[in-house]
């Protein structure tokens, strides 16, 4: 049925608007058209029928066909994840590729041969087909744009259009960086043109793939994790909320909403650099009545927890990893003290980096970094990282 529909579209019906065709009792939507390498690209979304085209039979699991370093739980024919910025990279040969997803909360960018061809907004239970590619080898990349810590995302792999094939996965990059932080690390509202955003505007305008972490990694040709959680702090969350948990409660998890869940590192994630940027939420608002803090005890508790967290990272990754502790605003001095204490204790692999906010416009939602700010921060962070003893 899809082949008949495609022939009609390409021969004259066009791909503007929405068309539907019954196929095994399920709807196929023609979403839009774009151009890649001069070819007409038609995109079809097969709602709720991943096996409709008979192309999803595979002899190995999803992670055997894609390159990914994100925190994902391997379920064989699917993987589950919840952190922002998780990406999957694959190679296909032929004129089309399908992206198998089950996600009603997050948004995704689909990139083919390095160019973004579409954004999938809360796609649901879907196989999203992109046809009209030149009949050759293509790279395809799927990246989760926003943070959805209360939900579980599911990816079922890439599939080739009839006559094509999914090829062996791309090679991993030799460099790896992990970014740990809050909404500023997530890329919260960074594409917004206004600081005032509705909830829906915030979700549509958050893009971790153009956060300062992702931009830094790409400049360095490094694989990366964006382990950011909006609103969380080292010991105190934004405005004192959810006092029974902090960022550290969730750091070890693959699925943030699953208590007790622990991400199982497959042994391939060994970052040479870990960048920690936590403290904005701890200190951005005054201590409220009823909170178990005074300004002095909050500062002391923050420094103590930060030191413990750095020790946890050191034990987790070993002495070959350089840990960059970011200081900015009200927490910069506290971070400096923590780094000095680690250095005095003999850990020279912890470095302090002051995040210079000069020139930042904070035009993202709710006064967060804009895309302009993320680029500027990345441009400042890259030379600092290249000056570390990593050989980069």
Active site residues: 183
Distance (Å, whole) CA 283 – CA 287: 8
Distance (Å, whole) CA 381 – CA 322: 14
CA 322 to chain centre: 22
Encode burial over 251-264: b for 16+ CB neighbours within 10 A, e otherwise. Answer: bebbbbeeeebebe
Distance (Å, whole) CA 50 – CA 43: 15
Angle at 149 between CA 170 and CA 181, to 5 degrees: 75
CB contact set of 326 (below 8 Å; sequence gap of 6+): 181, 275, 276, 277, 335, 353, 354, 355
Beginning with the edge strand found earlier in the chain, give each strand of the sheet holding 273-277 in spatial order.
Answer: 222-228, 175-181, 273-277, 322-327, 350-354
Two structure tokens written together for 135: 């009949």
Q: Which of 46, 5, 3, 43 is nearest to 25 (CA)?
A: 46
Distance (Å, whole) CA 51 – CA 24: 10
3-state secondary structure at position 137: strand
Distance (Å, whole) CA 223 – CA 177: 6
Q: Which of 246, 228, 248, 227 is nearest to 236 (CA)?
A: 246
* 319 exposure class (CB count in 10 Å sphere: 0-12, 13-18, 19+): exposed
Two structure tokens written together for 18: 């929405």
Distance (Å, whole) CA 138 – CA 179: 29
User: Strands 350-354 and 322-327: what pairing?
Assistant: parallel
Angle at 199 between CA 196 and CA 205, to 5 degrees: 70
């Amino acid at each position: 049925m899809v082949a008949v529909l495609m022939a009609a579209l390409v021969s004259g019906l066009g791909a503007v608007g929405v068309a539907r065709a019954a196929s095994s009792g399920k709807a196929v939507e023609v979403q839009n058209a774009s151009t890649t390498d001069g070819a007409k690209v038609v995109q079809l979304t097969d709602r709720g029928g991943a096996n409709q085209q008979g192309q999803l039979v595979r002899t190995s699991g999803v992670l055997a066909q894609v390159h990914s370093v994100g925190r994902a739980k391997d379920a064989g024919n699917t993987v589950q994840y919840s952190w922002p910025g998780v990406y999957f990279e694959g190679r296909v040969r032929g004129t089309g590729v399908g992206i198998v997803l089950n996600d009603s909360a997050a948004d995704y960018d689909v990139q083919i041969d390095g160019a973004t061809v579409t954004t999938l907004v809360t796609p649901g239970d879907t196989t999203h087909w992109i046809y009209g590619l030149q009949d050759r080898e293509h790279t395809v990349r799927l990246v989760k744009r926003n943070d959805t810590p209360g939900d579980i995302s599911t990816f079922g792999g890439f599939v080739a259009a009839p006559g094509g094939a999914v090829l062996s996965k791309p090679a991993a990059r030799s460099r790896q960086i992990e970014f740990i932080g809050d909404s500023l690390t997530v890329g919260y509202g960074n594409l917004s043109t206004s600081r005032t955003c509705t909830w829906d505007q915030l979700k549509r305008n958050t893009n971790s793939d153009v956060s300062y972490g992702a931009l830094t990694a790409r400049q360095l040709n490094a694989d990366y994790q964006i382990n950011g959680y909006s609103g969380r702090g080292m010991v105190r969350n934004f405005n004192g909320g959810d006092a029974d948990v902090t960022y550290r409660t969730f750091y070890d998890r693959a699925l943030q909403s699953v208590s007790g869940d622990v991400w199982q590192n497959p042994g391939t994630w060994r970052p040479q650099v870990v960048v920690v940027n936590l403290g904005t939420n701890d200190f951005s608002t005054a201590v409220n009545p009823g909170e178990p803090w005074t300004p002095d005890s909050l500062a002391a508790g923050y420094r103590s927890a930060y030191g413990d967290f750095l020790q946890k990272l050191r034990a987790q990754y070993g002495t070959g990893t350089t840990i960059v502790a970011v200081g900015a605003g009200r927490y910069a001095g506290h971070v400096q003290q923590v780094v000095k204490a680690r250095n005095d204790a003999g850990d020279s692999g912890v470095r302090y980096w002051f995040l210079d906010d000069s020139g930042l416009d904070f035009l993202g939602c709710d006064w967060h970094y804009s895309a302009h700010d993320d680029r500027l921060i990345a441009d400042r962070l890259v030379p600092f990282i290249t000056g570390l003893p990593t050989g980069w």
